[in-house]
Amino acid sequence: MKIGGRGLREHIRLLLPLFGLITAVWLLRMVMDLASTPPAVVRIVSVTVAGSASILLAALLIHFKGFGGYPNIVVATFLLEVWSQFLICSAIAFSALTGTTNVYNEPEYSHGFTPLTHIIGHITFGVGMGTLVGGAMGCLLLWLLRHIVPAAGGKAHLRPSH
């Protein structure tokens, strides 16, 4: 199946560095938590922020590489959200299965939910709302880029002002 003229493998290949960025932030957050870093510092290292930044970077890549259009932004957003939520859910599941505590099952992040309910929330609400909001954010950025900045070998679509 092709979306915007590109297959799933092409999307994944384009997004590999961004998957790596999200994974690095997730690992850093886990290591900081294991090293008993103060919670205020651990909070700064956010998988959610890394995911949002990755969506914006994906929009930049799609525009400047001439990779596609708005459907490609939505696919990229969905893939990045699924990856982010998978990493978070795996940390929640790990802590539940081993009986350990990590940053993802502390009350301020789990909001008192059981690990299973917390995981289901990330899979449903996290992926769903993340894709909707992130897709809108990425499409808006792509629209702005297309109207202001020329793509590879293209022209910007600036309209004359009156």
- For residue range 58-101, what is the model confidence (pLDDT) as tens digits? 999 999 999 999 999 999 999 999 999 999 999 999 989 988 87
pTM over 0.85: yes
Separation between Cα atoms, residue 56 and residue 33, nearest integer Å: 27
Surface-to-core class of residue 147, CB atoms within 10 Å of its CB (0-12 exposed, 13-18 middle, 19+ buried): exposed
Question: What average pLDDT does range 40-51 have in this prediction?
Answer: 89
How crowded is residue 38: how many other Cβ atoms within 10 Å of its Cβ? 8
Phi-psi region of 154 (alpha: psi -120 to 50; beta: other; left: phi over 0): beta
Residue spans per domain, the chain: 2-148
